[in-house]
Amino acid sequence: MRFVFFLLLIVTVDCGYSQFQVKGKVLEFNEKGKTIPVPNANVYWLSTSIGTSTDIDGNFSTPYQKDIRQLVISSVGYRSDTIPVNRPNLGNIVLYPNVVLDEVVVEKEVAPIQKSLFKVQNVVSVDSREMLKAACCNLSESFETNPAVDVNVSDAVLGAKQIQMLGLNSPYLMFTQENMPSIRGASQVFGLSFIPGSWIESIQITKGAGSVLNGFESISGHINSELVKPLTDQRFFLNLYANNFERYEFNSRFNKNISDELGVGLYVHANLRNGYIDDNQDSFYDTPLARQINFMNRWQFMDPESGWVSYANIQYLSDTKELGQTDFDIDTDKLTTNAWGSEIATSRLDISAKAGYVFPELPYQSFGFQTAYSAHDQNSFYGLNEYDINHKSFYSNFIFNSIIGSTQHKFKTGLSFTYDGYEEFVNNNPFNRYDNSVGAFFEYTYDSLEGLSFVAGLRADSHNNLGDFLTPRFHLRYSLWDKASFRASFGRGKRGANIFAENQQLFASSRQININGSNGNYYGLQPEKAWNYGVSFIQKLYLWNRVMDFSIDFYRTQFENQVVVDWENPREIAFYNLEGDSYSNSVQVDLNYEILQDFHIRTTYKYFDVVTDYNSGRLEKPLQPTYRFFVNLNYETQKIAEKQWRFDFTSNWLGRQRLPNTSANPAEFQLQEWSSSYNLMNAQITRVLSNNFEVYLGGENIGNFTQSNPILSSNDPFGTYFDSTILYGPVLQSLYYVGFRYKI
C-alpha cells in the first residue's frame, strides 16, 4: 500500500513540474583505461541554445525539453555526441578524443585457426595465439585445443602423448619442422615433447596425402611446424609455468639482429617434474618424474635485394624420465625385482641448414637446398626389460620452383637423399639396420583462375630396403559457388615400421614379444604401404555480419600392407604382416561461429571406423574412440590501454573405445569389452597487463575424470598379468597451473 502511494507521489511530482531535470555525467578514458570526469563540457538540446555545462566532476543537469529529446554533448578536443533522451538519468556518457581521421582502416584480426578456402590441399593453419591456449608446454600439448588432431596418451606408466589423425597413429603422419622431416624413427614416441611450444610460430596441418616434396612416408597427413625467426621474433621472451603436480617449466628466447640481414637467436627450455604423485594408490606414479634441458641456437640471413635467404640451426637436448613404483630406488633396485621402476634417458643433437634463392628478375623462379643431421640416443630400462636405441639420420633436399609458360602453370622439382642408421638393443638382442634412399620428384600446380586448381605430384625413389618405387599424390580444389570449395585428394605412402620405437609401451607389461616375420627387411616384416583418399567441402558465409564456417570431410586409408600390432592376447604382443583387410574411415564436421562480438565457438564432431583383420578375426582398432565431440569457447575483451582479458574453455567428449581382449586372464584381471565414454574439460584465463607482460591461470581435466585401475596387476609387476598398456582415459586428476609471459 505504501508502495502504491509512493508511485502515486512520483507521478504527481512528475506532472507537477512541467520541466523535470535530465541528469548525467560526462567522462573520458585516461591512458590507463580508467574513466575520469570531463569538466566544462557543453550540454545543449539539439538545434537550440538551451543547455548547460558540466561541473568539475563531469555532472550536469538541464530541464527536459520534450519537443526536442536529443541532447548534444561537446567539448573542445572531443568528438561530439548526440544522445536520445528517453529517461531522466542518462548515467555515464563517455566522450572520445577527436582524432584526425585521414584514413579509416577497418581491421579484423585473423582467427588463430584458419581453414583456407583457396589452398588446394585441405590445410588448417594454427598460429602461436592458438598455442597459448594450451599454456603448457610442448608440441604434443599444443594440439589439445585443436580439433584436427587427436592427442592420446600411450599408456599408464610412460604417459607419453601421441597424436593421431584420421584414426591413425603418429607413425603414419609426417612431421616436419620448417619442411624438414622430424619426429621420426627413434623419436616417434617422445619426439613431440622435445619441441617446446614457445618456440613455435605456426603449425600447418594437412589432412590426407601430403606433398611429394617431403618424401614418401606420409600416409594420413602432414604436420609442419614453423619456429620463430630471429629477425622478426621478440628481442627477449621469458615464460615460467608451474602446476599443482610440481611440474615447472622455463622458456626463454633471446634474439639479436647483427645487421639488417643477419639475426641470431638463442632459445632455452627446461622443465622439471618433481611431484611424487600416486593419487590412485596403485603404488605407481601417476605421472613420470622428469627433467629436460633443451637449447637451440638459430641463425637467419635474409637479403631481399640479392634474393638470398638462409637459416642454420643447432639444437641439443637431454631428457630423463623416471617412472614406475613409488618405492623404487634406482641405485639399489635397477633391473631387480625389489620394485618395478624405469628410466628413459635421451640425448639428441640436431643440426640443420637451409638456403634459398629467388631470382630477382623472375619472382616466380627460385631454388632451395635443405640439409639436416640428427643423432638420437636413448638408453632405457622398464622393470627387467632393457631397450636402447641409437638413430643417426641425414637428410638433404634440393628444390627448384618455376613456371611453364605462365604462373597459371607452376612446377617444383628436385632431388632428395636420406640416410638412417639404427642400432637397437632389445634385452641385449641387437637389431641393426640402415636405410638409405635417393629420390627425384616433380610436382605440377595448375590454377585456372576461375575456381579450378590442382596439384599433381610424382616421386621416384630408390631405397635399399623398400626397393624402387613411385609415389603419386594428387590434390584438387574446385570453387563451387561464392565462398565454397570442394576438395579431393588421393595419394600413396610407404614406410618401414620401427616396431619397438613406435610401441615402446609394450615394455611396461609382462607381454612376450612375438615377431612373425618371414624374410622382410624390417625385423623380418614387410614394408607398410597404403592409399589415402579424401573429399572435403567448406562453406564460409556471413550470418548477421559475422563469419561462420562450415566444413565436412571424409577420408579413407586403405592398407595394401601393414605391420599389424596385435594386443589381443594378454600374454603377448604380436607383430605380423597384414593378411586381409585393414582400413580407416573418418568423417569430420566442423562448425565455427562468432556468436557475439569477440566471442567464438568452435564445434567439431568426428566419427571413426578403423578396422583390421587380426589373426583372431576382424576387429575395430583397440583404444580408438568411435567418436569425438569437441567444443571450444573463446572470449576476448577489447584491448584498452594494453590491457585485456582472454577466456578459453574446451570440452572433449570421447566415445567408447574397444579394449584389447583380456578374456584369457583370471577374472580379476579381465576388462570389459568396451570402455565407457567420457568427457574432458580444460579452461584458461589470461590477463594481459601490458604489451610486455601477461599472466595466466588454468585447469586441465577439471571434471576430474580418471580411469580406475589403469594398470592390471599393479601389485605384482613381475607377475604374468602385469600390463599398463590398456589405457583409455587420464591417470592424472585435475591439474591446475599458473604462469606468466614477459616479452620485449
Partner 1 sequence: MKTTMITAIAFLIMAVGHAQDKNKSVSFEVKGNCGMCKSRIEKASIKLKGVKFATWSPETKQFEAVIDERKITIPDIKKRIAEVGHDSDGFTAPDSVYNKLPECCKYRDPASVHMDHGNKN
The span of 79-87, 147-155, 345-353, 357-365 binding partner 1 (CB under 8 A) equals 357-365
Cβ at position 364, least distance to partner 1 in Å: 5
Burial class (CB in 10 A: 0-12, 13-18, 19+), 176: buried
Cβ at position 204, least distance to partner 1 in Å: 19
Q: Report the residue number, 481 or 542, with the smaller CB distance to partner 1.
A: 542
Fill in the per-residue mask, 515 to 554: x = in contact with partner 1 (CB under 8 A), - = not in contact: -------------------------x-x----x-------
187 belongs to the binding site for partner 1 (CB under 8 A): no
Query: Cα-Cα-Cα-Cα dihedral of 556, 558, 559, 564, to 10°?
Result: 60
Cβ at position 311, least distance to partner 1 in Å: 23
Cβ at position 406, least distance to partner 1 in Å: 5
For the record, the C-alpha cell of 565 comes out as 600390432
Q: Which among 669, 594, 599, 661 is positioned nearest to 634, based on CA atoms?
A: 599
CA distances from 192 to 43, 539, 587 (A): 63, 33, 25
Alpha carbons 10 and 8: distance in angstroms, whole number: 5
Helix (H) or strand (E) holding 332: helix 330-333
The span of 138-146, 361-369, 664-672, 729-737 binding partner 1 (CB under 8 A) equals 361-369
Length of the chain: 744
Cβ at position 449, least distance to partner 1 in Å: 5
408 belongs to the binding site for partner 1 (CB under 8 A): yes
Q: Report the residue number, 403 or 633, with the smaller CB distance to partner 1.
A: 403
Which one-letter DSSP state was computed for residue 276? Answer: -
452 belongs to the binding site for partner 1 (CB under 8 A): no
Alpha carbons 570 and 566: distance in angstroms, whole number: 10
Q: Report the residue number, 591 or 702, with the smaller CB distance to partner 1.
A: 591
Alpha carbons 164 and 95: distance in angstroms, whole number: 53
Among 53, 234, 347, 402, binds partner 1 (CB under 8 A): 402
588 belongs to the binding site for partner 1 (CB under 8 A): no
Compute the half-sphere exposure of residue 553: CA atoms within 13 Å on the CB side of its CA: 26
Query: Cα-Cα-Cα-Cα dihedral of 561, 563, 564, 569, to 10°?
Result: 150
As a three-state string, the secondary structure of 66-110 is CCCCEEEEECCCECCEEEECCCCEEEEEECCECCCCCCCCCCCCC
For the record, the C-alpha cell of 258 comes out as 647483427
Cβ at position 485, least distance to partner 1 in Å: 12
The span of 176-184, 309-317, 360-368, 733-741 binding partner 1 (CB under 8 A) equals 360-368
Among 440, 513, 611, 685, binds partner 1 (CB under 8 A): 440
- DSSP-based helix, strand, coil % in the chain, nearest 5: 10, 60, 35
351 belongs to the binding site for partner 1 (CB under 8 A): no
Residues 455-474 that bind partner 1 (CB under 8 A): 460, 462, 468
406 belongs to the binding site for partner 1 (CB under 8 A): yes
Alpha carbons 562 and 32: distance in angstroms, whole number: 62
Q: Report the residue number, 11 or 404, with the smaller CB distance to partner 1.
A: 404
Residues 293-322 that bind partner 1 (CB under 8 A): none
Q: Report the residue number, 451 or 524, with the smaller CB distance to partner 1.
A: 451
Q: Are 221 and 174 a contacting pair, CB within 8 Å? A: yes
Cβ at position 648, least distance to partner 1 in Å: 24
Helix (H) or strand (E) holding 488: strand 484-495
Question: Rg of the chain's alpha carbons, rounded to an integer?
Answer: 31
Cβ at position 545, least distance to partner 1 in Å: 8
The span of 72-80, 138-146, 283-291, 396-404 binding partner 1 (CB under 8 A) equals 396-404
Among 68, 312, 345, 415, binds partner 1 (CB under 8 A): 415
Among 23, 334, 483, 556, binds partner 1 (CB under 8 A): 483
Q: How many residues at the interface with partner 1, by CB under 8 A?
A: 29
The span of 70-78, 411-419, 595-603, 721-729 binding partner 1 (CB under 8 A) equals 411-419
For the record, the C-alpha cell of 304 comes out as 631481399
Burial class (CB in 10 A: 0-12, 13-18, 19+), 644: middle
Q: Which residues pair with 529 in a beta bridge?
A: 494, 561
Cβ at position 441, least distance to partner 1 in Å: 8
The torsion angles phi and psi of 260, rounded to 5 degrees, stand at: -65, -25
405 belongs to the binding site for partner 1 (CB under 8 A): yes
The span of 65-73, 198-206, 386-394, 435-443 binding partner 1 (CB under 8 A) equals 435-443
442 belongs to the binding site for partner 1 (CB under 8 A): yes
Q: Report the residue number, 111 or 344, with the smaller CB distance to partner 1.
A: 111
The span of 67-75, 142-150, 355-363, 371-379 binding partner 1 (CB under 8 A) equals 355-363
Q: Are 726 and 152 a contacting pair, CB within 8 Å? A: no
Residues 109-148 that bind partner 1 (CB under 8 A): 117
Among 61, 257, 365, 396, binds partner 1 (CB under 8 A): 365
Q: Report the residue number, 5 or 542, with the smaller CB distance to partner 1.
A: 542
Q: Report the residue number, 299 or 442, with the smaller CB distance to partner 1.
A: 442
Q: Which among 460, 372, 473 is positioned nearest to 418, based on CA atoms?
A: 372
Please report, as a single letter, which amino acid is at residue 259: S
Alpha carbons 579 and 563: distance in angstroms, whole number: 10
Alpha carbons 432 and 421: distance in angstroms, whole number: 8
Q: Report the residue number, 403 or 552, with the smaller CB distance to partner 1.
A: 403
400 belongs to the binding site for partner 1 (CB under 8 A): yes
Cβ at position 411, least distance to partner 1 in Å: 8
For the record, the C-alpha cell of 319 comes out as 631428457
Cβ at position 436, least distance to partner 1 in Å: 14
Residues in contact with 17: Cβ distance below 8 Å, sequence separation at least 6, in sequence order = none
Cβ at position 361, least distance to partner 1 in Å: 6
Q: Which residues pair with 254 in a beta bridge?
A: 236, 266
Query: Cα-Cα-Cα-Cα dihedral of 477, 478, 484, 485, to 10°?
Result: -20
Q: Which among 313, 229, 317 is positioned nearest to 270, based on CA atoms?
A: 317
Among 17, 359, 434, 645, binds partner 1 (CB under 8 A): 359
Q: Report the residue number, 92 or 407, with the smaller CB distance to partner 1.
A: 407
Cβ at position 410, least distance to partner 1 in Å: 10
Q: Which residues are at the interface with partner 1 (CB under 8 A)?
A: 117, 359, 361-365, 400, 402-403, 405-408, 413-415, 438, 440-442, 449, 460, 462, 468, 483, 540, 542, 547
